[in-house]
């Protein structure tokens, strides 16, 4: 059965390595007849989370009217959540982290909607060959998985990519495509 997939990207470089992986994942997911919405967080206005005590007071998850509220309808119908991000200083891109912080509105007692993700994916690239550079992003991702009780999750971590086009070396693009294609 087709799934509704939300892909949250964190790179502002449209031809960058993580965006190339996002495009490959989306292409694979669509090949399996899934519905995909891509939210390019780096190009959106997402303000820091605050005042979760008043979340939903205006009928929206965020008291601050920004692009998170605009993507909320897609969040609420998605079966699958995907984060695609470059790694900076051992963590996710700030735009993706801001998005994740705002998801807390779906955990507060007064929430108007529950989220029912059945799968989650983390796809990340890093300039360094050192796999420990992914630990911060993996920890944050695992917290999202745990907090929302997401039963299935996978990660695709690609070290050693810095310059545009580095992702074309090796199997990462095909791996991302196949990961997307397996979503059913």
Percent of the chain scoring above 90 in pLDDT:
85
What is the tally of structural domains in the chain?
Answer: 1
CATH number at residue 47: 3.40.50.360
Q: State the residue range of the domain holding 161.
A: 4-181
pLDDT at 57: 85
Q: Does residue 51 register a pLDDT over 90?
A: no
What sign has the CA pseudo-torsion 50, 118, 25, 5?
A: negative
pTM for the structure as a whole: 0.96
Whole-number Å distance between alpha carbons of 99 and 6: 12
* Model confidence pLDDT, tens digit, residues 77-117: 999 999 999 999 999 999 999 999 999 999 998 888 899 99
């Amino acid at each position: 059965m087709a799934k509704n997939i939300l892909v949250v990207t964190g790179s502002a470089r449209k031809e960058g390595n993580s965006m190339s992986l996002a495009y490959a994942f989306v292409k694979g997911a669509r090949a399996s007849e899934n519905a995909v919405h891509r939210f390019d967080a780096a190009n959106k206005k997402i303000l820091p989370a605050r005042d979760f005590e008043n979340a939903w007071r205006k009928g929206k998850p965020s008291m601050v009217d920004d692009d998170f509220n605009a993507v909320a309808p897609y969040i609420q119908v998605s079966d699958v959540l995907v984060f695609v991000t470059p790694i900076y200083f051992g963590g996710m891109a700030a735009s993706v982290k801001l998005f994740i912080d705002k998801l807390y509105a779906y955990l507060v007692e007064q929430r108007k909607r529950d989220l029912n993700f059945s799968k989650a994916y983390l796809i990340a690239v890093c300039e360094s060959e050192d796999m420990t550079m992914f630990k911060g992003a993996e920890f944050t991702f695992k917290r999202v998985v745990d907090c929302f009780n997401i039963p299935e999750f996978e990660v695709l971590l690609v070290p050693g990519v810095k310059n545009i086009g580095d992702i074309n070396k090796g199997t990462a693009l095909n791996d991302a495509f196949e990961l997307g294609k397996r979503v059913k």
